[in-house]
Structure 1
Amino acid sequence: MPVKPTATTAEAEDEEERQYVVGGQTLQELDEKYPNRPKNHSKTLLFSELYLNLFNPLNENKKQPSGPPRSKVGPHGPSKHSPQEQRRAIIERFISRWRKEVGNDFYPALRLILPASDRDRGNYGLKESNIGKLLVKLMKIDKNSEDGYNILHWKLPGQSAASRMAGDFAGRCFEVLSKRPMRIDPGDMTIADVNELLDKLAVALGEAEQLPIFETFYQRMNPEELMWLVRIILKQMKVGATERTFLDLWHPEGETLFSVSSSLRRVCWELHDPAFSLNKESQDVTIMQCFQPQLAQFQVSTSFQKMVERLNRSSPVEDDTEFWIEEKLDGERMQLHMIEDDSIRGGKRFCFWSRKAKDYTYLYGEGLYDENCALTRHLKSAFADGVRNIILDGEMITWDPTMDKIMPFGTLKTAALAEGRNPDAEGPRPVFRVFDILYLNDRPLARYTLRDRHNALEQAVPGAHRRLEVHPYTKATSADEIEPLLRRVVADSSEGLVLKNPRSMYRLNSRNDDWVKVKPEYMDEFGESVDVVVIGGFYGSGHRGGNLSSFLCGLRATENDIEAGANPEKHYSFCKVGGGFRAEDYAALRHETDGKWQKWDSKKPPTEYIELGGQAQGQQCEKPDMWIRPSQSVVISVKAASAGYSDQFAKQITLRFPRFRSLKLDKSWDAALNWQEFLDLKKGAEEQLKEAAMTIEKKRRAVKRVKKDVAIAGQDDVPPEFKGLATKIFAGLEMCILTEGVGPVKKTKTQLETLVKTNGGKVSQRANADNGQILIADKKVVKVASLIKAGEVDIIRPKWILDCLAQSDTDFLLPYEPSHLFHATDGVKAMAEDNIDEFGDSYARELDMEELKTLLKDMPKKEIANSQHAFDKELFLRQLSEHGHDSGATKGQIFRGLNVYLEEEHGFPEIASLRLRNWITFGGGHLVADINDETITQVVILAQDEVEEARLATSARSTISTRSPLPRVVTKQWVEDCWKNVTRVDEERYAPL
């Protein structure tokens, strides 16, 4: 393993300055914006350490089958860890080493580990083809040579070893670079060096500026380092660990902060101390700060009824089964932020960010009077009077006013640029369709229900017609209402629908059952299938690299075409199919067509057999990598949603959302559909659609009448005490209700789930206590017994839920008591015992009359005064503190519960040291004699000048760097200010430099 070079403090600071100034801000600007940002005490690790100790181990780990460890725990601990545990251990080791050898600023490394999440560096503007050309020039190889061809045609199978890397561009680069490396051993570039050059690459213009940067990398890195560098530039890491895993292991609230800020820099700098916790405000969406939006869950069932059941189960309210249906727009997810700003003309400042946090303000406009902007100049009346600031979530789409329809997503940027140049033109223009609101007049709204948020949206945004509009939705209560709308949007060439739960809160950076997207790919428009002939193939990438992974399919020429002189074997390109194939389907197709494929030559296209489109062999049509004569090919069955217009195929009509169903080996090529037969099939399907729509509408009306009768009959199952409850007491908690509640009041499982959801909590149907989930049960059913047998687990009685809601202060979440525990570990049992007195009376909640009678009845009949137990002052004060009843702001309580170690300079004045020690002990703190004591919560530096203070702090941090939680290191001023202000002040501002 390469030895990391050491550095003096001055050298480390020079490196840090170089590292960040290139990113666009000076060191002074960063210090002003982040006064408490961590500063590394040493140089960053070598770049090679990233791939040797993080990327490569994670890559090896992901090859293992997932799941729990197969071996049991023995007397010396587990004999084998699961791949998930190993993955976390790899990352934790690297982070721990960084803290120890470099410091607490992890940002330089994290932006290379998660390049796709790094919003501070601009796009490189480089794709595989650009990088391939640069590397061919650097290595001075002929582009037509075997290696040159392999790197420029990386999707195609190569020769010898390179063929194994087909479809993996970085892997293909490694194979070619390995033959002509500038160095064999890992290079001397540090992570800071790489960041510096990547900052330059992000602003480099054209090949002339990019080539010298790549040359530096080529000279100072070995082939494996260069392979990982290419993956970083392409933002295609795929190391087997998610963004969430890295952020959570850096800090428990790392993912939370990233969700509201989209900033790795903030996550690293504000959460450098694992013991630090975000306040409530830091966890909310903030104006002019890009957040990670909520996403729609993928369609998990072909049954609309099951989808609706999942939707209602995610937030159940017995008497409210309404859900909303929205059209899924073919645009770009966008968030709009607006704030009042007198420094800008018009008094309103705007910002636009995409789902990937790309800033589009330059395109859509910063102010109401921006010239050459595509949108904001048209929003002068879009907001209601009194709206000072707002955050809107929606979709930026392209609208064509002449055709009065939404255009495909690919036209958006072109339309925006054209609108900026000529705002009065009648051509396609960007329109912002808003479907949610997250912030209004200084108030975050994410914790409100979608129904409440939409009410606020409708009042705050009257809109600007065909510029900014509130996206419409349809209210529904039955699954039968989905299909007619889905068919209608498909007919309008839309992407599909999104089903939403109006009772749900907005959950940042999450895909869940509150929003479910429904795509039409499972609808049968043409009977069972459409039989087409495979006429072309396209090479895939990734795990499909080196093989044909999607196929161009065609329809035979008609009898009229043949009579007019067309070859009977001629086929018109019709659709491209890449979904629905299993491994065995690919194998069978390869077997049937082996040796029959030919390379597509654009200069000599096989027009006798295949017609690609009206633009002949132009760039706009679907042009395959390989082709096959129809008579030598196979017929496949394809399932589709509908047929629609497309200029990428021969007859300007194609199947929308086609999926492979089966290989039709019993059919010859001339038994598949011809063009005229398809047109007849399409016409028949459209007639069937009309009949189906009428039948569904009749059924829907009948269902509505039945449901109304049921409601009148009074069969509402919701108990009266459930109605009207709507608090946020369980916000942030996830519970799994395993059984009904049997006492003291009987409640069904559904009723308990309703209570949790209507009071802010989340309900899961799968038990998983490892992620903080609370398990609820009152019976030892098979599932509960299995959980108890599996290991240490805490199972809480439903009584705890009812007791929490029964309190007069419904914002107060009760601590557990013995009566709340169905099954618990020793630690939870002990904690629960501490929450009641010796007679069973709760310190935290009000007892009802029946409980009070029972308690008094069971109380011993002796006088308390005769008790042999002496009054324990410390126990009494601790119990008061633990239950939120501190004895006021007194100096005797300032440092209670803290274990403090004093790191004292030799020669520090004895009288000053004695004074600080007395203050700490009088304030309830405990002085620890050894810095190696694991219970230390604070390390106080006692020094007479800043130089000695910094030296002692560095030494102390090095000693405690591997602990979790990490003790705070503060100056003596912290103790003095706590004593002076009669309160414990925030430690962060007292960190030694």
Structure 2
Amino acid sequence: MSSIPASHSQVTVASQVPFTDLCSTLEQIQKCKSRPEKTKYFKDFLDSWRKFHDALHKNEKDVTDSFYPAMRLILPQLERERMAYGIKETMLAKLYIEILNLPKEGKDALKLLNYRTPAGSRGDAGDFAVTAYFVLKPRCIKQGLLTVQQVNVLLDSVSTNNAAKRKDLVKKSLLQLITQSSALEQKWLIRMIIKDLKLGVSQQTLFSIFHPDAAELFSVTTDLEKVCKQLHDPSVSLSDVSISLFSAFKPMLAAIADIQQIEKQMNHQSFYIETKLDGERIQMHKDGDVYKYFSRNGYDYTQQFGASPLEGSLTPFVHNVFHENVQNCILDGEMMAYNPTTQSFMQKGNKFDIKRMVDDSELQTCFCVFDVLMLNSQKLGHEILSKRYEILNKIFTPITGRIQVVLKRQANARKEVIDALNEAIDNREEGIVVKDPMSVYKPDKRGEGWLKIKPEYVSGLMDELDLLIVGGYWGKGLRGGMMSHFLCAVAEIPPPGEKPSVFHSVCRIGSGYTMKELYDLGLKLAKHWKPYRKKDPPGNILCGTEKPEVYIEPCNSVIVQVKAAEIVSSDMYKTDCTLRFPRIEKIREDKEWYECMTLDLLEQLRGKASGKLATKHFDIDHEEPQVKKRKTVPKVKKIIGVMDHFKAPDLSNVSKLSSIFEDVEFCVMTGTESCSKNELESKIAEFGGSVVQNPGPDTYCVVVGTENIRVKNIISSNKHDVVRAEWLLQCFEKRAFVPWQPVFMIHMSSETKQHFACKYDQYGDSYAADIDAVQLKELFSRMSHLKEEISWDVIADTEERYSWDCSPLSMFRQYTVYLDLSDEESDLRHKVNRTRLLTGALMLRFHGARVASRLEEGVSHVIIGEDHGRVKDIKAVRRTFKRKFKILSEQWVKDSVKAGELQNEEAYLI
């Protein structure tokens, strides 16, 4: 295949770079073991590409040529839609056999077809690309003929024709690739087609070398081509790329702060504290007399707020406040509703929408500005926050109730943050925002120097409401076939000595629980739901305009503990109010249905703090709110088994101690040494359950103390979950429905196996639940047969991929350290030195280092104790090594561990 012709204006770097150059680089990256070497080879290739690019397009403008043609081949897994080949190893094997005219039963053909089978001593079993390389090597041209651009053109042809199901054209393109590539090139072509290059370096690492903001932009756009084109110049920042006049961008957001760690999160430097405003996040774009307004999700609200000084609820009132030298600007802030009568801002939950305020409203639109991102065509995202604040104060003259600069205070300590939060609670404000003065603006990035603190984020600061579920709504999608939302109510105060009989609806809730908790709650209430008829509603459940699809008699329902931000007015519910941002915290198994919140208590909360449900202060001394904590009752977590519904128990002759097993049917096969079968059955009845002697379709599980023939027959039927009696004893002891764990299971039905596969790994370790020391020992005992060793590079790549490499526990991860332990132990000094260095070895391992048992090639650091007698010998050994190691004092390790970060090695060199 000849080179693809192109005029000078169409010449790209990719059309000039041989594909073999890229493959040679990939080969070098794969072969070297250390990450610094791998990254160096990639950076060298990237730098040469950019250098060639600058020379090729020296006098051109608006160049679209970029590193994308190479990057898409290096990271093919990120191009799933554009590079969908529909080709796997077996198809390639058959294609090679056909093109090379290999005997189908011949040695090489069988190698290709059976590449997973271990053969020879190369250790390449399972790697089709390597297997193909050795088969192709004696049969291919020595030097490839294709450029990077030609390879991309052919691969795009394969993808396009595969989508169109034109197999003959797919085969034709592959034939061109194969016949004009060397064995080495085809090895990497195969990996690109299969989308697994096995480079031993993560895409995050490659992104970071390409551009510091590349990973960030890709996470927002998922467009590799856009990343390569917009960030081709490494000196251009993401904010410069993302922010442009009259073009919406996703704003920078604040992450949830940890008050206890706030000083550390602010790098132990001074910081700003601002009031968190409860309005609509809006960005204003202004160019002369032309204005545009965008929401945080990019919606255009220019028509509402005004495209010119002659229209809208805001622009006519703020146009003249801008200083004469301001031609254009982009401002970031919060659009608020201001009441000029009370001279205060309205909260978003108070039955109004700032984006739809009418002209005759008694409220007026006010733009509260807290950042500036462009001024007179100069982009400011890369400037630090303190500098942007200086610029912001020179743009316009504030007018109270129309356009204001959000006030900030400078602080240094956690106590000042706590005082500001308590002040916000007293002022009925949403919370506070803490910002790092050195932070730059990163669109669509959460955190990065901006932190928010709301009372609801702090345990114990919010008043919680115990509401009764009285209605339900059928779900859609993943929640189809179950109740996904619930109508909750409070009770009218009943006469003394009686239970409440009338309930008033207060809110609809559909969040706060997991899918498992939702499913379990649905099972618990399933048989009690009744259709809600608007023409004939139940007399004891009073609703506003919001009506449920089904309802439940209060005596059959449960109380849920609900947390919300505030109580706001609403005519949709019978109470004439509702909750803002409600979510279910837990089911109150310790409370009966008639113990729910009453109407008068709701009114007290509503009036106490203008509806805000945060009234308690955070106490810096106790580091927790000074409130009496309720005893936490474990959530009921019933594992999904094979039953379709629960069978109602007959408990007329049983004295119930608890109702945790209400409506649950068990079959007890055998007892334990400490608790017989009859005793287990009696206990089940006491806790509200029912017992059968033979498991049926309604049986929740089969309980077994000791296994016998009958138990084995039950297991072989594969119809029921078979559980150890120890689980039942734990339920009795804790008086709660203890969740199943793998250790409890003797046999699992297919449904339960599927459930456990989502919650636990193959050794029974939960993906989410905490584990204690005893459980950890049991887990290790189940894993004792494992002999695999995890590669240090795998650990390092995993840490980097999930940003764990910034942890102090990983500070020495990239180092291989040898500690000089003298063998001369004739005097006390050497013994002390040896003990000190052994302690140092533990410290190094604990913080990620690989400690070598002997001084060998690959060691990066040698640590010396107080005895420097062997330093001369160690330096002599160093001269013989290809890779030179550093010789440091043990104090470097101690000081680094103490500081929580690596110290400058120069000060500790020996």
Which category of TM-score, normalised to the shorter sequence, fits these structures? 0.3 to 0.5
* Greater RCO structure (CA 8 Å; 6+ sep): 1
TM-score, length-normalised on structure 1?
0.42
- TM-score norm. by structure 2 comes to 0.45
